[in-house]
Structure 1
Amino acid sequence: MSNPLIQAFFVGRAVAETLNQQVESALTNFMSELGKFDAEQRENLRQFTEQVLERARREEELSMQGRTSGYSSDYGSAPNQEQDLQAMIDDLRAEVAELRAELQRYRVNRSV
């Protein structure tokens, strides 16, 4: 290898191959870590979803237990329950009307 031009060619070729191997290795490691991260995040999301659904199911059961105990106590009070329901609807309508009036006052005061 007395010719410096030939020596430079082989050195350049070796540098390119080594660089290519390192880039390939880094890319492979990156893709592997990305795959692990994706799998972990999917598992975390699945666990979170399960926790939310379980909590919602428990809350629903607790809510239904409270309602069934209140409703099953006396079947003769159905007219009374209808009056209570109507009273609740009337209260909600009044509250909505009050909120609408308050919103209207806010809009008028804001535009002045």
Structure 2
Amino acid sequence: MSNPVTEAFFFGKALAEVLTEKAEDTLTNTLSEFGKFDAETRERLRQFAEEVRLRAEIAKQQSENSSTNTTITVEVDSSVDLQELLDELRAEIARLKAELNKYRQK
């Protein structure tokens, strides 16, 4: 006959092993998904910055073609903070609006 205490011990040990394995699998999958999400987010931000840079280039070329003296320079660096980039673009827009108002008042 089996001793109930021994059976309980082995049952508890098996339960702990299974729970540990499941927890490891869950943590591994969660970290993997987070890594994918982070990589995808960085790629989307890089693509966004590239699109902004291209549009700025197009606007610059159109501006040069219409013989306007306004120059727009956008430098894209993958390590640039998106909020910082947006703040810089807003400041540039404000500066251009001020220049445009000066031009209109002449």
TM range (shorter): 0.5 to 0.7
Structure 2: state its 5+ residue gaps. Answer: 69-101
Structure 1: state its 5+ residue gaps. Answer: 69-87, 93-112
TM-score of the superposed pair, with normalisation by structure 2: 0.63
Percent identical: 49
Structure 1 residue aligned with 2:45: 45
Alpha-carbon distance, 1:33 to partner? 0.6
Q: How does 1:8-47 map to 2 (within 5 A)?
A: 8-47=8-47
Please report the RMSD computed on the Cα atoms of aligned residues, expressed in angstroms: 1.9
SS state of the match for residue 67, structure 1? coil
State the 4+ residue runs in structure 1 displaced beyond 4 angstroms. none
Go from structure 1 to structure 2 and tell me whether the alpha carbon gap of 1:90 and 1:44 turns closer, same or farther (over 3 Å shift). closer
Give 1:17's aligned amino acid.
Answer: E
Alpha-carbon distance, 1:91 to partner? 2.3
Instruction: Tell which structure's C-alpha radius of gyration is larger.
Output: 1
Post-superposition CA distance 1:48-82 (Å, at most 9, x none) = 100000000100110111016xxxxxxxxxxxxxx
Structure 1 residue aligned with 2:59: 59
- Identify the structure with bigger relative contact order (alpha carbons < 8 Å, sequence gap 6+): 2
How many residue pairs align between the two structures?
A: 73
TM-score of the superposed pair, with normalisation by structure 1: 0.60
Alpha-carbon distance, 1:89 to partner? 5.9
